[in-house]
């Protein structure tokens, strides 16, 4: 009996050290070396959404067949990218349910749903969730009512549950957390209700908050001079899409959303830092190392909540460590990811709001492009030339693949009065939708932004891209097509009508040695493989 | 407003549906103006400043699938539509929700106006010389190649109807199968890789396929990568123009008849 107790004590001492942990940080750091799994939202900390798997290739992709389909249990939009770890898939279902599936069959292993108030606020977007993070033996999810919850990866039992922010003030969470060494990083939504945005890091083990970075600086802090009056208090700056991480510099790269109110900027003169920016934060302390603002004093709701992709490429004859972003404002940017130095910015879609960028990357804004009472026609539309859905970079082709929205909009300016927990936007748009708009997959030369090929889509997409070592690029359409293109030429190789709009990102994994490609469409997750 | 008049309003709004009388009937111009203001502030981001749709549904049409009657419209605005991007509102009072509902209904309601033509004569032209019945259904009668017209007067003004008679391809109605902004009855000509040519109206389309309905009422389905050519003939229509085929006064009579079609038998 005594020895059993002793063993139990030893086991307890060992447990927190994580000797038996299934997904230690080091596995995520080297995610590219185990392509059978998909360990973090964008596939790796570099967020290239590139799968080194090559069983499915340009020659055989036309033979893809559904392996299984999982129907979600509550109706809603499924924007999630699933994770796959050693034969288990972790998927979020609308609004904030986490489900573990047998990755071979799609059968459920466990499911967890938060208990949320019926009138939970999600102003500015639908009740969606884009996925989970995993670290050691714990799965992490941000909920619609702005909690961060840690679940046991084998049972779904709650390890801890912390309130990130007050949902009554319209803070909510839609993005997948990012797990780094010992910490879980999570962003918030809510700029359409005038929140003051932030990015948080929590101890993965205890749920204790380690640091908070305010995306809108308070009085006395650097950047506060870019806000007129008290406008910083309701300045927006959401952090609603998962960022990237470079372990070498211990830097987090995170896109910051629009200032509030969106379309009426009368109350917020100035550049409104750090809205519509990319920030590089010290991952240990949350301190700002550098920032780059894509759209100073934004008046079109052009969040910079796009995926920052980390890669190495030659720019102007010199090999650089880059962070790359195809921004919602229709420009493609290359920045030095250690220093934040602006290296290149060039349009990748139609834009009518600027006369290009100056030498430091600041846009030269054209007159009369602000929203007006009678409406001002500007390209791109409110949803931007790109948005939250992921681009992909293939180190094999050197192409950056981006799903592009070619659409303009009449922007209107309206009144905006702040009242906690209500809409604070001050206008809107009337998009030139339908036959006046279109979508495209574009392959850009990563170092120059030059378009190498384009594949036209009927409508502006809300689905991301996946490139693979098999020389294939996968994407989806609003009309439900899941498709494969030749990564080198853009030629269509395969398409499948899923029967529901695709507003998610493809990912790839392998089970029993057979490569699979997964995509959420309509109310279901589809997994495809070769027969 | 006094406390007692609030009470009266509350009773009126609460009781009205039970008596079959929608509270929308009691909304004043000031109510509708406030509904418009609230709509532009809270709804226009998805439904567009004019309610004609965008990320959200086109609301400027007489039949809203999720709001068959006014109380259903009230609950959609108040509680949203589960499983869609349509969120409810917590911040509006019941009266404000009714004001928004009234404004939404007004987006698709074309008022009855006095027109130069005479609807009775127009009906005769529609049924005889115009030959309109060959392609249009009114009250269940007629061919189905063109738009169903039983209640066209409730959703189209006389200027649009006149243009539709004189230049049918100029402004095609919104697609029934695709999101707002896609044209219904759009003429498309395709040539397959083996040289077969088909011309018909677009019924549906996605990035990889297109479905057409030809003049002989046959459906066709094509996989776009298998086509040699695909041309969308914007500005054209299978319907002939009546310019020159009917006199000016006959056209005005026909327009008056179409405007009189308001769904009532």
Three-state SS across A41-77?
CCCCCCCCCEECCCCCCCCCHHHCEEEEEEECCCCCC
Instruction: Give yes or no for a contact between A423 and B90, defined as CB atoms under 8 angstroms apart.
Output: no
Are residues A414 and B41, on separate chains, in Cβ contact within 8 Å? yes
Chain A contact for B93, CB < 8 A?
Answer: no
Torsion sign (Cα): A527, B55, A422, B64: negative
Verify whether residue A301 is a known catalytic residue: yes
Nearest to B53 among A122, A433, A483 (CB): A433
Q: Is A234 helix (H, G, I), strand (E, B) or coil?
A: helix
**pTM for the full model?**
0.88
Rounded to the nearest angstrom, the minimum Cα separation between B88 and chain A is: 8
- Contacts with B64 (C-beta within 8 Å, 6 or more apart), sequence order: B57, B73, B76, B104
Q: Tell me which DSSP letter residue B173 carries.
A: P
Nearest to A436 among B42, B178, B181 (CB): B181
What are A442's strand-pairing partners?
A: A402, A454
Are residues A435 and B232, on separate chains, in Cβ contact within 8 Å? yes
Query: Alpha helix (H) ranges present in A272-374?
Result: none
Distances (CA, A) of B1 to A23, A206, A335, B98, B195: 64, 54, 59, 17, 73
pLDDT tens for A46-86 read 999 999 999 999 999 999 999 999 999 998 999 999 999 99
- CB neighbours of residue B77 within 10 Å: 23
Q: Which segment of A415-429, A468-482, B39-53, B91-105 scores lowest on mean pLDDT? A: B39-53
Using the structure block, give the residue that is written with the tokens 């290149």.
A344
- Contacts with A115 (C-beta within 8 Å, 6 or more apart), sequence order: none
Q: What is the pLDDT of residue B14?
A: 39
pLDDT tens for A363-397 read 999 999 999 988 899 999 999 999 999 999 999 99
Q: Does B11 score more than 80 pLDDT? A: no
**CA dist., res. A358 & res. A361, Å (int):** 5
Q: Does B5 score more than 50 pLDDT? A: no
Q: Is B168 helix (H, G, I), strand (E, B) or coil?
A: coil
| pLDDT-based confidence at residue A5 (cuts at 50, 70, 90) | low
Average pLDDT estimate for A287-312: 98
Q: What is the pLDDT of residue B81?
A: 82
Indicate the average pLDDT of chain B.
86
Task: Find the residue in A nearest to B175 (Cα).
Answer: A434
Nearest to B206 among A427, A428, A481 (CB): A481
Q: What is the pLDDT of residue B130?
A: 96
Strand ranges for A79-137 from DSSP E? 83-85, 88-93, 97-102, 108-112, 133-135
Q: Is A241 helix (H, G, I), strand (E, B) or coil?
A: coil
Torsion sign (Cα): B34, B36, B39, B45: negative
ipTM for the assembly? 0.89
**CA dist., res. A96 & res. A274, Å (int):** 28
pLDDT tens for B156-165 read 888 889 999 9
> Which has the closest alpha carbon to A121: A66, A177, A194?
A194
Chain A contact for B42, CB < 8 A?
Answer: yes
Q: What is the pLDDT of residue A6?
A: 58
Indicate the average pLDDT of chain A.
95
Q: What is the pLDDT of residue B113?
A: 76
Average pLDDT estimate for A5-30: 68
Rounded to the nearest angstrom, the minimum Cα separation between A94 and chain B is: 8
Are residues A94 and B83, on separate chains, in Cβ contact within 8 Å? yes
| pLDDT-based confidence at residue A427 (cuts at 50, 70, 90) | confident
Rounded to the nearest angstrom, the minimum Cα separation between B234 and chain A is: 10
Task: Find the residue in A nearest to B181 (Cα).
Answer: A434
- CB neighbours of residue B124 within 10 Å: 15
Q: What is the pLDDT of residue A165?
A: 98
Residue B234: list chain A partners with CB under 8 A. Answer: 435
Nearest to A119 among B90, B186, B232 (CB): B90
Strands A466-468 and A50-51: parallel
What are A51's strand-pairing partners?
A: A468
> Which of B39, B45, B47 is the mutation pick for testing A, counting most A CBs within 10 A?
B45
Q: Does B52 score more than 90 pLDDT? A: no
Q: What is the pLDDT of residue B18?
A: 40
- Contacts with B202 (C-beta within 8 Å, 6 or more apart), sequence order: B175, B183, B184, B185, B186, B187, B188, B210, B211, B212, B232
> Which of A428, A460, A485 is the mutation pick for testing B, counting most B CBs within 10 A?
A428
Are residues A431 and B85, on separate chains, in Cβ contact within 8 Å? no
Q: What is the pLDDT of residue A59?
A: 98
- Contacts with A62 (C-beta within 8 Å, 6 or more apart), sequence order: A493, A494
Distances (CA, A) of B27 to B22, B24, B78, B97, B104: 10, 5, 18, 12, 12
Q: Is A15 helix (H, G, I), strand (E, B) or coil?
A: helix
Average pLDDT estimate for B85-97: 81
Rounded to the nearest angstrom, the minimum Cα separation between B223 and chain A is: 10
pLDDT tens for B222-258 read 999 999 999 999 999 999 999 999 999 999 999 999 9
Average pLDDT estimate for A167-182: 97
Verify cis geometry, omega within 30 degrees of 0, for the bond prior to A261: yes
Rounded to the nearest angstrom, the minimum Cα separation between A385 and chain B is: 15
Share of chain B above pLDDT 90, in %: 53
Task: Find the residue in B nearest to A460 (Cα).
Answer: B207
Average pLDDT estimate for B30-45: 85
Chain A contact for B235, CB < 8 A?
Answer: no
**CA dist., res. A351 & res. A361, Å (int):** 16
Are residues B48 and A431, on separate chains, in Cβ contact within 8 Å? yes
Instruction: Give yes or no for a contact between B170 and B163, defined as CB atoms under 8 angstroms apart.
Output: yes
Single out the catalytic residue among A200, A301, A303, A486: A301
Nearest to A430 among B50, B206, B207 (CB): B50
Are residues B225 and A492, on separate chains, in Cβ contact within 8 Å? yes
Three-state SS across A281-298?
EECCCCCEEEEEECCCCC
> What interhelical angle do B94-106 and B29-42 show, nearest 10?
90
Are residues B209 and A422, on separate chains, in Cβ contact within 8 Å? no
Average pLDDT estimate for B180-204: 95
Distances (CA, A) of B120 to B160, B252, B263: 20, 11, 16
Using the structure block, give the residue that is written with the tokens 């920045």.
A335
Q: What is the pLDDT of residue A20?
A: 65
Q: What is the pLDDT of residue B88?
A: 77
The dihedrals phi and psi of A122, each to the nearest 5 degrees, come to -145, 65
| Residue bearing the bigger pLDDT, B89 or A417 | A417
Size of interface A-B (CB pairs under 8 A): 120
Q: What is the pLDDT of residue B2?
A: 41
> Which has the closest alpha carbon to A213: A182, A192, A243?
A243
Chain A contact for B40, CB < 8 A?
Answer: yes
Residue B206: list chain A partners with CB under 8 A. Answer: 458, 477, 479-481, 497
The dihedrals phi and psi of A206, each to the nearest 5 degrees, come to -115, -20
Rounded to the nearest angstrom, the minimum Cα separation between B199 and chain A is: 18
Q: What is the pLDDT of residue B21?
A: 64
Q: What is the pLDDT of residue B120?
A: 96
pLDDT tens for B96-133 read 999 999 999 888 777 677 889 999 999 999 999 999 99
pLDDT tens for A17-27 read 444 679 999 99
| Residue bearing the bigger pLDDT, A89 or B66 | A89
């Amino acid at each position: 009996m005594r020895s059993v107790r002793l063993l139990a004590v030893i086991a307890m001492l060992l447990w927190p050290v994580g000797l038996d942990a299934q997904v230690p940080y080091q596995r995520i750091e080297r995610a590219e070396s185990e392509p059978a799994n998909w360990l973090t939202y964008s596939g790796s900390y570099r967020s290239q959404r590139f799968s080194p798997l090559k069983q499915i290739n340009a020659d055989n992709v036309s033979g893809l067949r559904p392996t299984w389909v999982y129907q979600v249990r509550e109706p809603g939009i499924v924007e999630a990218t699933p994770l796959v770890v050693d034969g288990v898939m972790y998927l979020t279902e609308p609004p904030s349910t986490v489900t573990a599936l047998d990755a071979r069959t799609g059968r459920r292993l466990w499911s967890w749903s938060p208990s949320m108030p019926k009138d939970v606020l999600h102003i500015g977007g639908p009740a969606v969730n884009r996925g989970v993070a995993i670290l050691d033996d714990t799965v992490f999810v941000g909920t619609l009512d702005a909690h961060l919850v840690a679940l046991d990866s084998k049972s779904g039992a709650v390890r801890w549950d912390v309130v990130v922010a007050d949902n009554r003030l319209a803070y909510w969470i839609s993005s997948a957390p990012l797990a780094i060494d010992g910490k879980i990083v999570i962003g918030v939504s809510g700029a359409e209700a005038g929140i003051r945005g932030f990015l948080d890091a929590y101890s993965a083990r205890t749920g204790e908050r380690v640091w908070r970075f305010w995306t809108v600086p308070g009085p006395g802090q650097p950047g506060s001079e870019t806000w007129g009056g008290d406008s910083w208090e309701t300045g927006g700056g959401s952090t609603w899409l998962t960022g990237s991480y470079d372990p070498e510099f211990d830097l987090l790269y995170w896109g910051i959303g629009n200032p509030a109110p969106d379309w009426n900027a009368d109350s917020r003169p100035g550049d409104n830092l750090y809205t519509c920016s990319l920030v590089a934060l010290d991952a240990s302390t949350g301190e700002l190392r550098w920032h780059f603002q894509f759209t100073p004093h934004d008046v079109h709701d052009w969040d910079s909540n796009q995926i920052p992709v980390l890669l190495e490429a030659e720019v102007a004859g010199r090999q650089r460590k880059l962070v790359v972003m195809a921004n919602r404002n229709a420009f493609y940017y290359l920045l030095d990811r250690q220093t934040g130095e602006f290296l290149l910015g060039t349009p990748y879609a139609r834009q009518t709001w600027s006369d290009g960028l100056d030498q430091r990357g600041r846009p030269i804004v054209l007159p009369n492009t602000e929203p007006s009472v009678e409406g001002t026609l500007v390209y791109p539309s409110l949803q931007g030339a790109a948005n939250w859905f992921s681009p992909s970079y293939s180190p094999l082709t050197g192409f950056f693949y981006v799903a592009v929205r070619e659409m303009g909009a009449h922007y209107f300016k309206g009144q905006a009065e702040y009242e906690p927990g209500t809409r604070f936007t001050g206008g809107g748009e009337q998009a030139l939708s339908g036959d006046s708009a279109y979508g495209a997959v574009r392959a850009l030369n990563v170092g120059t932004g030059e378009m190498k090929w384009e594949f036209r889509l009927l409508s502006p997409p809300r689905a991301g891209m996946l490139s693979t070592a098999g020389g294939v690029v996968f994407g989806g359409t609003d009309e439900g097509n899941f498709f494969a293109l030749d990564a080198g030429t853009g030629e269509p190789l395969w398409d499948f009508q899923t029967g529901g709009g695709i507003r998610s990102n493809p990912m790839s994994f392998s089970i029993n040695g057979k490569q699979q490609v997964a995509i959420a469409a309509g109310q279901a997750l589809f997994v495809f493989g070769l027969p | 407003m006094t406390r007692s008049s609030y009470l009266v309003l509350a009773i009126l709004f609460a009781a009205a549906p039970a008596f079959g009388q929608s509270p929308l009937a009691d909304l004043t111009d000031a109510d509708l103006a406030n509904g418009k203001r609230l709509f532009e502030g809270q709804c226009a981001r998805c439904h567009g400043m004019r309610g004609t749709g965008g990320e959200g549904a086109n609301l400027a049409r007489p039949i809203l699938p999720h709001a068959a009657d006014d109380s259903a419209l009230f609950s959609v605005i108040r509680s949203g539509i589960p499983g869609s991007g349509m969120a409810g509102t917590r911040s509006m009072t019941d009266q404000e929700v009714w004001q928004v509902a009234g404004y939404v209904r007004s987006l698709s309601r074309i008022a009855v106006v006095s027109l130069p033509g005479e609807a009775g004569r127009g009906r005769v032209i529609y049924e005889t010389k115009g030959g309109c019945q060959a392609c249009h259904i009114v009250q269940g009668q007629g061919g189905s190649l063109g738009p169903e017209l039983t209640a066209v007067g409730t959703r189209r003004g006389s200027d649009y109807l006149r243009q539709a008679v004189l230049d049918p391809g100029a402004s095609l109605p919104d697609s029934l199968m695709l999101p707002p902004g896609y044209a219904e009855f759009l003429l498309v000509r395709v040539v397959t890789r083996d040289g077969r040519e088909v011309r018909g109206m677009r019924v549906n389309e996605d990035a990889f396929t297109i479905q057409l309905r030809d003049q002989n009422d046959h459906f066709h389905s094509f996989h776009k990568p298998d086509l040699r050519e695909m041309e969308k003939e914007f500005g054209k229509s299978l319907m002939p123009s009546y310019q020159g085929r009917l006199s000016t006064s006959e056209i005005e009579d026909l327009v008056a008849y179409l405007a009189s079609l308001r769904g009532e038998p």
